[in-house]
Structure 1
Amino acid sequence: MVFYTKMIFAVLFLCFSATCVIAGDPTLEFEWKVTYGTIAPLGVPQQGILINGQFPGPAINCTSNNNIVVNVFNQLDEPFLLTWAGIQQRKNSWQDGTPGAMCPILPGKNYTYRFQVKDQIGTYFYFPTTALHRASGGIGMLKVHSRPLIPIPYDNPAEEYPVLLGDWYNKGHKTLKSILDSGRSIGRPDGIQINGQSSKVGDANAKPLFTFEAGKTYKLRVCNVGLRLSVNFRVQGHTLKVVEVEGSHNVQNLYDSLDLHVGQCMSVLVTADQTPKDYYFVASSRFAQHPLSTVAVIRYVNGNGAASPELPPPPPENTKGIAWSISQFRSFRWNLTSNAARPNPQGSYKYGKINITRTIKIANSRSSSNGKLRFGINGVSHVDAETPLKLAEYYGVADKVFTYNLMKDEPQEGDKVEVAPNVVNGTYRNFVEIIFENHEKTIQTWHLDGFSFFAVAIEPGRWSPEKRKNYNLLDALSRNTIQVYPNSWAAVMTTLDNAGMWNLRSEMRERAYLGQQLYLSVVSEARSLRDEYSLPETQELCGIVKSLPKPAPYT
């Protein structure tokens, strides 16, 4: 008995000290080399960031509960990190890939990410969080399928295709970063790319984005990986059936076109029910002063004929366009009759009957500090510290790196902004309400790492407690990214049941880089492996903790 007990503790120690993969679930291993290379998404050659020589980077194609091991070799001339947007990293912010949680991978070094896609399904993507690297690539899709024993609420498609689209700048990431560091805005993008390409109507040399066979149904996994612009996409002559949004199966409706905001992903079904020939996949900007658009060709097998130059019209803009887009948001509702990643009905979680323990009201702001452009939240503009916030907290030296709760739970009056690491304490397992108020004339998008939240409402104007009567407390989507329209607000609810240091950020990369983000510190006082993994043995150390003795691991 003593022998077996020692064996069990030895396995547990090795497992959790390395942020282990979980025994019994399959492990997928990848080796990625991050390099520079020439790319031309808008037809203009420029230096891009490639993964294994590719842009977009290789897709991770996995199944719920798979263990993912990615060994990343940084062959750039700058520190580098990847984050796995939307993957909740249960008990494991050590692998989240944000500067507040991890030391960057130095040039010429490698780091192995280890995480599990625990109880998740859906369409996600990965991207760099260091500097402005996202502007030059390092982006790819992460697809999480349902396990075979759990049925999905639609027939299996004939094929599925990844579509990574978004705005693009012809200036490289170093130039864009230097513009921001000088105190100026990077301005408007130069165009829109689809899977690293951009075509014009009538371009006879355009390669097909993908092919359809008449009579079959295809699944398109679509993500907006841009830096600034919301995008509307549509397929000429075809309707789109939405079947999944950021990990949630939704009530299935048909759409002629769909708005997709920065950082958001969804899956749609398209049936090849038209005359076999070419058709255009169209992507155009939304709510932009200078509209942008691009097309890609969808080719029917044995088709005969070029795509029509008459493109399907975009939705309305300005006030009517915002009302149109809000209406579309409200049409996305959770499918309570389908199963989630686990074999229990999603509708069994009655989130609308849980008492709210805390309301955090956030207002984004644009201001100036020492003559330079800054973006902030409630009077605080975040800057990354030399020592990752999570490491400082774990080593017990947080007071030497940052101050908790500089940001208050309510927006502050005036234009003054404090430039400092922005860390907010969150009580473990509390049920919180977060209100995003947008007082500006441009659309905003927010993302929360480590959690999914229920997107219960979006409305024009200012939020007040009586607005709660308009919340969807029955079947709001569980997701991780929410848009906030100009002079509007959005409300989300979530349970802080995932211990760690988690990033809440603007998905507009310019805004996040210049301070429009915070870290939510969720600490389990038990310091137990039940709630959070210990510091992995292989974790890189930097800053003031590099020479400190390691704390005792969680037990």
Structure 2
Amino acid sequence: MKKDELPQAGGEGQDEEKPSGTTAKKTRIPLLFIGAAIVFVVVVLALGLGLGLGLKHKKGAAGGTQSSNGTLPSSANGTSGTSPDISFARPSWRRNPLDYELDLSWDINAAPTTRVFNLTVSEIQAAPDGVLRPLLVINGQFPGPLIRVNQGDRVLVNVTNQLVNGTSMHWHGFYQNGTNWMDGTTSITQCAIPPGESFLYNFTVEQFGTYWYHSHFSTQYTDGLVGPFIVHSPEEAKIQEMYDFDQVVLLQDYYHDLSTALLPGYLASGNENAEPLPDNGLIQGTNFFNCSSYDSDSGYTCYQNSTRAIFNVAQGKRYRFRLINTGAFGEFQVSIDNHTIQVIEADSTLVQPVTVSRLPIHIAQRYSIVFHANQTATNYWFRAHMNDLCFSAENPVLDTDVRALITYTNTTSDPTESVDWASALDGSCEDLALSDLVPYDPLPAPQVDITYPIEVSFQIGNFALDKAYINSTTWVPDTIPTLNQAVAGLHANDANFTTSGVSSAYDASQLIIDVPTYKVIDILINSLDEGAHPFHLHGHQFWIMASGAHGDFNWNSYPTLNMTNPMRRDTLTVDAFGWALIRFKADNPGLWAFHCHISWHMEAGLLMQWQTRDDIMKGWTIPSDVLALCNAK
């Protein structure tokens, strides 16, 4: 659907976010004035580029020399340098941190309505941590805008692609029941949105909690196409009494090069288990970076006026932080100096409050924490320590202690009384213990019908490329989405598309397990790899029946598994050489990806699919605008 064909949502409660634009009349301006204006604009950009949320750091040793005229280089491959440590207005591409504060006067009891959002993706030059690089942005800003709705709302999101490559948008954690083609998974539920074109995502939200959205085209989201998606419900009333403020907090590892430049080296022969290592970490899309970490001939342009995020708090108030790890590779261990935290939500499942000092959060996971601002009124560090103990090597420029400021006094000075927790950082990449996560609303697990064991490994494949495998298959994106193939095959009564179990109807690069009618499925994941993997299942939540950091699942333990109220989520970390047993109802019709959410691993082939409810899918007609994406030039 073209952008100018976007349906208009009527009635009260309509939310619309449109890219801003300006127009101007043509007129003659003296050349001297033009020259002065250009110089002013260039200086403004040079000074304002690295500034963000207000917490600044004194300039250290320069990693190179400042350009003679102080102007902003046009390319991230220019001269390395620093600019003065001065205050300036937030650059237009940096998202206002107030955008992620959730007004508690929002009506969680409002009747379902239609809410309209417009997202335009493009590429700019920006420096979220002071290092200039190409960055993918949404509506001209980074990170992406907040999408906020109520359970039961119909959501229309018009995505316009101004990139040179295709794109898509995935709504992470949503069921998409009856709208599988709106899942946004390139090569599985749709073809990519071509450059210069728009596509309208149209679905109804059935759940509530903390979610996010991101591009699902190659490693693209790694370069900036991420944003929070919050869904409210009357059911939140029972926990809202626990906090006075509600805040979204985005965490991510961050690279100083485009993922498209890093990916070929990762997949190249002789580079086994050597993922690209982050250069920094961001909180709310910003952080400090020490420019002296780079030599003058590094090829990077670095401005020493980068900033850390700031969270203002009031004495005695309680704060809900909705943490979302939107990164590509790194797990974080989150803590707040001098303050304990209570976990109340994990992957949109409300849980019985559990108090911890540190919280691990892996790629694509979400947690809500509550902390009480009851300490001495001064400044403290919010820490998101990147767990590099799970990396295969070290990056000398990476400071794993990613921090933001918690301030009681609305000041930007470094804390003097802030004390990190004495408990050691966990050297493994594991989720919070299953025993600590008990769903607030019990939901018993059903009896299992079928169990499918799968093995996760990395192997040296053709041309000595390092590829990832689930069982014996390494995934390669198909030119025709597997959903399109399945619906066409079911319409044609092709028996290959209706055979229960591993399907033979698709290309050899597609591991698809067909569950033709309603069944309860167990997936036993066995990792043969030395790294941890955050696995995400599209279109479902699953029960975590059991897991282990080593060894094998004891099949004799089946009768003793917790069936009463096991934890439910959509993204689970399987530790190095570990295993996990998860259970889901195969009742949601469609083609659903199951993959490691480390972007490098998925691109290496660590993805399979579940084909569910052929009995319903055979009556589907895929919308014409979805099919048209595959025919666009």
State the TM-score, normalized to the length of structure 2: 0.72
Amino acid at match of 1:363: E
Which residue number corresponds to residue 380 of structure 1?
473
| Equivalent position to 1:101, from 189, 197, 204 | 189
1:205-354 correspondence runs (5 A): 206-286=307-387, 287-289=389-391, 290=394, 292-301=400-409, 306-308=414-416, 310-313=419-422, 315-318=424-427, 321=428, 325=430, 328-336=433-441, 347=442, 349-351=443-445, 354=446
Q: Which piece of structure 1 moves more, 377-386 or 303-312?
A: 303-312
1:501-516 correspondence runs (5 A): 501-516=591-606
* TM superposition outliers: structure 1 runs of 4+ over 6 Å: 401-409
Shift of 1:180: 4.2
Which residue number corresponds to residue 26 of structure 1?
113
CA contact (8 A) 1:376 1:516 kept: yes
| Equivalent position to 1:48, from 127, 135, 160 | 135
CA contact (8 A) 1:165 1:223 kept: yes
| Equivalent position to 1:437, from 526, 541, 546 | 526
Measure the CA separation in 1 of the matches of 2:184 and 2:584.
22
Classify 1:527/1:263 alpha carbon distance in 2 versus 1 (closer, same or farther; 3 Å): closer
Measure the CA separation in 1 of the matches of 2:205 and 2:496.
32
Structure 1 SS opposite 2:625? coil
Amino acid at match of 1:328: A
CA contact (8 A) 2:212 2:229 kept: yes
Measure the CA separation in 2 of the matches of 1:478 and 1:273.
32
CA contact (8 A) 1:206 1:297 kept: no
1:521-541 superposed Cα distances (whole Å, 9 cap, x missing partner): 113325587xxx642243243
| 2:591 corresponds to 1:498 | no
CA contact (8 A) 2:280 2:289 kept: no
Count the aligned residue pairs: 492
Listed as ranges, the gaps of 5+ residues in structure 1 are 1-23, 337-346, 410-417, 548-555
Measure the CA separation in 2 of the matches of 1:220 and 1:227.
21
| Equivalent position to 1:453, from 535, 542, 563 | 542
Measure the CA separation in 2 of the matches of 1:406 and 1:176.
40
Amino acid at match of 2:253: D
Shift of 1:34: 0.5
Measure the CA separation in 2 of the matches of 1:470 and 1:326.
22
1:379-418 correspondence runs (5 A): 379-396=472-489
Measure the CA separation in 1 of the matches of 2:495 and 2:608.
12
| 2:169 corresponds to 1:73 | no
Measure the CA separation in 1 of the matches of 2:605 and 2:115.
35
Measure the CA separation in 1 of the matches of 2:305 and 2:345.
34
Which residue number corresponds to residue 425 of structure 1?
514
Shift of 1:304: 9.3
Amino acid at match of 2:528: H
Amino acid at match of 2:581: A
| 2:563 corresponds to 1:473 | yes
Classify 1:208/1:382 alpha carbon distance in 2 versus 1 (closer, same or farther; 3 Å): closer
Which residue number corresponds to residue 175 of structure 2?
88
Q: Which piece of structure 1 moves more, 461-470 or 479-488?
A: 461-470
| 2:241 corresponds to 1:151 | no
Which residue number corresponds to residue 136 of structure 1?
223
Which residue number corresponds to residue 58 of structure 2?
none
CA contact (8 A) 2:266 2:276 kept: no
Shift of 1:28: 1.0
Measure the CA separation in 2 of the matches of 1:369 and 1:438.
18
Coordinate RMSD, CA, aligned = 3.0
| Equivalent position to 2:252, from 162, 166, 174 | 166
Shift of 1:64: 1.1
Q: Percent identity?
A: 22
Which residue number corresponds to residue 18 of structure 1?
none
Shift of 1:378: 0.4
| Equivalent position to 2:213, from 122, 126, 131 | 126
Amino acid at match of 2:576: P
Structure 2 SS opposite 1:283? strand
Classify 1:360/1:162 alpha carbon distance in 2 versus 1 (closer, same or farther; 3 Å): same
CA contact (8 A) 2:516 2:615 kept: no
Structure 2 SS opposite 1:141? strand
CA contact (8 A) 1:191 1:293 kept: no
Measure the CA separation in 2 of the matches of 1:470 and 1:169.
45
Measure the CA separation in 1 of the matches of 2:314 and 2:571.
34
Measure the CA separation in 1 of the matches of 2:437 and 2:126.
36
State the TM-score, normalized to the length of structure 1: 0.82
Which residue number corresponds to residue 414 of structure 1?
none
Measure the CA separation in 2 of the matches of 1:440 and 1:44.
33
Classify 1:537/1:212 alpha carbon distance in 2 versus 1 (closer, same or farther; 3 Å): same
Measure the CA separation in 1 of the matches of 2:552 and 2:278.
30
Measure the CA separation in 2 of the matches of 1:53 and 1:304.
27
Amino acid at match of 1:74: N
Amino acid at match of 2:196: G
Classify 1:258/1:213 alpha carbon distance in 2 versus 1 (closer, same or farther; 3 Å): same
Amino acid at match of 1:439: L
1:388-429 superposed Cα distances (whole Å, 9 cap, x missing partner): 110112222899x998799987xxxxxxxx961222212332
CA contact (8 A) 1:168 1:190 kept: yes
Structure 1 SS opposite 2:628? coil
Amino acid at match of 1:296: A
Structure 2 SS opposite 1:237? coil
Shift of 1:453: 0.5
Measure the CA separation in 2 of the matches of 1:406 and 1:40.
51
Amino acid at match of 1:197: T
CA contact (8 A) 1:41 1:197 kept: yes
CA contact (8 A) 1:443 1:484 kept: yes
Classify 1:508/1:419 alpha carbon distance in 2 versus 1 (closer, same or farther; 3 Å): farther
Which residue number corresponds to residue 517 of structure 1?
607
CA contact (8 A) 1:432 1:494 kept: yes
CA contact (8 A) 1:192 1:292 kept: yes
Shift of 1:96: 0.3
1:184-203 correspondence runs (5 A): 184=271, 185-199=274-288
CA contact (8 A) 1:221 1:267 kept: yes
Which residue number corresponds to residue 459 of structure 2?
367
Shift of 1:82: 1.0
CA contact (8 A) 1:29 1:70 kept: yes
Shift of 1:233: 0.7
Structure 2 SS opposite 1:382? coil
1:189-234 superposed Cα distances (whole Å, 9 cap, x missing partner): 2222212112379x99745432111111111010111111211011
Classify 1:302/1:36 alpha carbon distance in 2 versus 1 (closer, same or farther; 3 Å): closer
Classify 1:455/1:39 alpha carbon distance in 2 versus 1 (closer, same or farther; 3 Å): farther
